[in-house]
């Protein structure tokens, strides 16, 4: 298993396609945090995020096993795109279930885009902000990234984080503080707006 950890994503995909299940375990461990974070930031619901996360990897498994994976050198982009498409599908289904028709009327009061709180542009801005946040998190030092992910994406208390990482609560709090400061600094340096 340790030898597998040194392989590239593409090599792992190829091994998995040839029935090496350990190879997929490494891919999952390598990318689960980033993919789950992307989904969770988009849907803001832990149970839904878990469902979409599992669906994403089931779709990936099916595609690879059927020999239809063709994204050479782009596994993480490919798996994130699957997650993105599943998120969009979910919101489309939700919207359609809650759409009221008024086809007999000359004016479409129910489905007028201007009446929605979030316009398409607002949603695009939110998506970009979430993508930027995930990108910033990935550039944090490992100990800060770990605390931030445990706190926001796994919803752990600082006591639980301290226990899981083997540090004091004050150290966990300090790492969170520095993670937020570093993200703000990186956002300013790269002129990234974290507001939507």
Q: In 124-154, which positions are buried (b, 16+ CB within 10 angstroms) versus exposed (e)?
A: eeebebbebbbebbeebeebbbbbbbbbbbe
pTM confidence score = 0.52
Closest CA to 59 of 80, 33, 38, 36: 80
Its CATH architecture, for the domain 1-99, is Orthogonal Bundle (1.10)
Looking at the chain, the whole-number percentage of residues with pLDDT higher than 90 is 18
Q: Which residue has the higher pLDDT, 116 or 138?
A: 138
Query: And the tokens for 72?
Result: 């050479």
48-96 residue pLDDT tens: 999 999 999 999 999 998 888 887 778 888 898 899 889 888 888 877 6
Closest CA to 90 of 101, 102, 82: 82
What dihedral angle (degrees, nearest 10) is formed by the CA atoms of 173, 175, 176, 181? 130
| Range from 108-117, 119-128, 159-168, 174-183 carrying the lowest mean pLDDT | 108-117
Same fold, 1-99 and 119-196: no
Q: Which residue has the higher pLDDT, 117 or 190?
A: 190
Gyration radius of the chain's alpha carbons: 20
Q: What's the confidence (pLDDT) of residue 15?
A: 93
Question: Is the confidence at residue 194, as pLDDT, over 90?
Answer: no
Q: What's the confidence (pLDDT) of residue 111?
A: 46
Average pLDDT, the chain: 80
Between CA 18 and CA 63 the distance in angstroms is: 13
- Where are the chain's structural domains? 1-99, 119-196
Question: Is the confidence at residue 112, as pLDDT, over 90?
Answer: no
Q: What's the confidence (pLDDT) of residue 195?
A: 56
Closest CA to 174 of 156, 158, 196, 152: 158
Query: What is the average per-residue pLDDT within 118-138?
Result: 69
CATH of domain 119-196: 1.10.10.10
């Amino acid at each position: 298993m340790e030898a597998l950890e040194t392989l590239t994503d593409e090599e792992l995909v190829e091994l998995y396609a040839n029935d090496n299940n350990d190879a997929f375990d490494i891919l999952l461990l390598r990318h689960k945090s980033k993919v789950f974070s992307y989904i969770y930031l988009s849907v803001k619901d832990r149970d839904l995020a878990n469902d979409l996360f599992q669906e994403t990897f089931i779709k990936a498994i099916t595609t690879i096993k059927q020999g239809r994976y063709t994204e050479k050198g782009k596994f993480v982009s490919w798996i994130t795109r699957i997650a993105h498409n599943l998120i969009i599908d979910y919101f489309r289904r939700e919207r359609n279930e809650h759409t009221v028709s008024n086809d007999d009327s000359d004016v479409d009061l129910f489905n007028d885009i201007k009446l929605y709180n979030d316009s398409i542009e607002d949603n695009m801005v939110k998506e970009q902000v979430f993508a930027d946040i995930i990108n910033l998190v990935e550039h944090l030092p490992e100990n800060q990234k770990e605390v931030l992910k445990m706190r926001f994406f796994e919803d752990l208390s600082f006591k639980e984080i301290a226990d899981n990482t083997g540090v004091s609560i004050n150290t966990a709090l300090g790492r969170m503080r520095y993670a937020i400061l570093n993200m703000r600094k990186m956002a300013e340096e790269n002129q990234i707006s974290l507001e939507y």
